């Protein structure tokens, strides 16, 4: 049985491959796929099978995906095009007789107002309809999403946003990757849906505090209205669509949609998740 990882050129996919190897999975049983296989050459040198897979050009069948294999479908990054792209990979896995598709989804994907949920909910439906057993990893927020905010705070002393008193139950990508490696390598996760998050939901005041500690300077959280936030983002050069998306996500955070903590992530990895301040402290220079 092989474990096929899509998006292995990305941050999360690479961490999953590393985590599988750390857990003692035979590199010869891991297939790392991506659009730019040259970026996976180092994994190839470690014995991992490296194969090209472009979601926009998925073949009818491939020699490296066979009956009984498990496929990790890391959700793509081309927002608005992902359902068709994901469906192409799901079709490939279905035709090959894959034993299971593990999909990185979004919190409460089928029952949330989260702006980015509809593509994930649609993908979950395609997987269910394929008849291939599945595991849904409904990943909460990555702490690393706030790395650009940290850079801004380093320059300005301000964390500006319109999330109000909303809280974020984030965890670092490596924690989500470890959970993915666990469900890929272990039996017993058939048709399971995990709501993954950090153990602690933090506020933006606490984020500013963590930044201040890491930077050794004062950092304050500036509460903006959605209108003010949008204007700041447009002023910083974002286009209308991206600015609207960022403001909508902050609105979702204000509504508490990213604050839910279920303990699923800690249970899967068998330890507490890495707290936000610890990840932030690793960014200090």
d(CA 110, CA 108): 6
CA end-to-end distance (rounded Å), the chain: 44
Q: How many CB atoms lie within 10 A of CB 173?
A: 20
**Considering only 9-17, 220-228, 241-249, 266-274, which stretch makes contact with ligand NAP by CB under 6 A?**
9-17
CB of 107 closer than 8 Å to CB of 197: yes
Measure the CA angle with vertex 161, ends 210 and 231; round to 5°: 145
Residues 1/99, Cβ–Cβ less than 8 Å: yes
From candidates 38, 54, 84, 239, binder to ligand NAP by CB under 6 A: 54
Whichever of 141 and 211 has its CB closer to ligand NAP, that residue is 141
- Contact between 166 and ligand NAP by CB under 6 A: the answer reads no
Distance from CA of residue 125 to its chain's centroid? 19
DSSP H helices in the chain: 11-22, 41-45, 82-96, 117-130, 147-156, 173-185, 204-215, 226-235, 240-254, 264-269, 276-281
* Span from 32-40, 130-138, 222-230, 268-276 in contact with ligand NAP (CB under 6 A): 32-40
Choices 50-58, 92-100, 182-190, 249-257 (CB under 6 A): range interacting with ligand NAP: 50-58
Give the H or E element holding residue 159: strand 158-161
Instruction: Out of 2, 5, 10, 50, name the contact with ligand NAP by CB under 6 A.
Output: 10
Q: Does 165 bind ligand NAP (CB under 6 A)?
A: no
Picking from 140, 141, 104, the residue whose alpha carbon sits closest to that of residue 16 is 104
By CB under 6 A, is residue 49 in contact with ligand NAP? Answer: no
Contact flag: residue 143 with ligand NAP (CB under 6 A): no
Binding-site member from 3, 7, 93, 174 for ligand NAP (CB under 6 A)? 7
Contact status: 103 vs ligand NAP (CB under 6 A): no
Stretch that binds ligand NAP, among 34-42, 150-158, 210-218, 224-232 (CB under 6 A): 34-42
Q: Applying CB under 6 A, which of residues 42, 45, 61, 78 lies at the interface with ligand NAP?
A: 78
| Residue selected from 32, 74, 92, 168 as contacting ligand NAP according to rule CB under 6 A | 74
Which chain residues interact with ligand NAP by CB under 6 A?
Answer: 7, 9-13, 34-36, 53-56, 74-78, 85, 104, 139, 141-142, 145
């Amino acid at each position: 049985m092989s474990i096929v990882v899509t998006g292995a050129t990305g941050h999360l996919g690479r961490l999953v491959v590393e985590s599988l190897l750390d857990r003692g999975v035979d590199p010869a049983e891991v297939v790392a796929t991506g659009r730019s296989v040259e970026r996976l050459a180092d994994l190839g040198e470690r014995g991992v099978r490296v194969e090209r897979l472009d979601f926009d050009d998925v073949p009818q069948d491939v020699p490296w995906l066979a009956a009984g294999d498990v496929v990790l479908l890391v959700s793509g990054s081309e927002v608005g095009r992902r359902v068709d792209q994901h469906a192409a990979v799901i079709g490939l896995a279905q035709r090959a007789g894959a034993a299971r598709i593990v999909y990185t989804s979004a919190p409460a994907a089928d029952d949330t107002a989260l702006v980015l949920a509809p593509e994930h909910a649609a993908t979950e439906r395609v997987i269910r309809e394929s008849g291939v057993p599945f595991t849904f990893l409904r990943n909460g927020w990555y702490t690393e999403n706030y790395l650009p905010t940290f850079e801004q705070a380093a320059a300005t002393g301000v964390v500006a946003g319109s999330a109000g008193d909303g809280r974020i139950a984030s965890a670092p990508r490596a924690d989500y990757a470890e959970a993915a490696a666990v469900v890929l390598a272990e039996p017993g996760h058939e048709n399971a849906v995990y709501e993954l998050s950090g153990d602690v939901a933090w506020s933006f005041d606490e984020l500013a505090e963590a930044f201040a500690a890491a930077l050794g300077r004062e950092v304050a959280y500036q509460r903006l209205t959605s209108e003010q936030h949008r204007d700041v983002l447009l002023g910083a050069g974002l286009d209308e669509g991206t600015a609207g998306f960022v403001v909508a996500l902050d609105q979702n955070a204000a509504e508490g949609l990213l604050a839910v903590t279920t303990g699923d992530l800690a249970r899967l990895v068998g330890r507490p998740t890495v707290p936000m301040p610890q990840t932030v402290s690793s960014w200090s220079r």
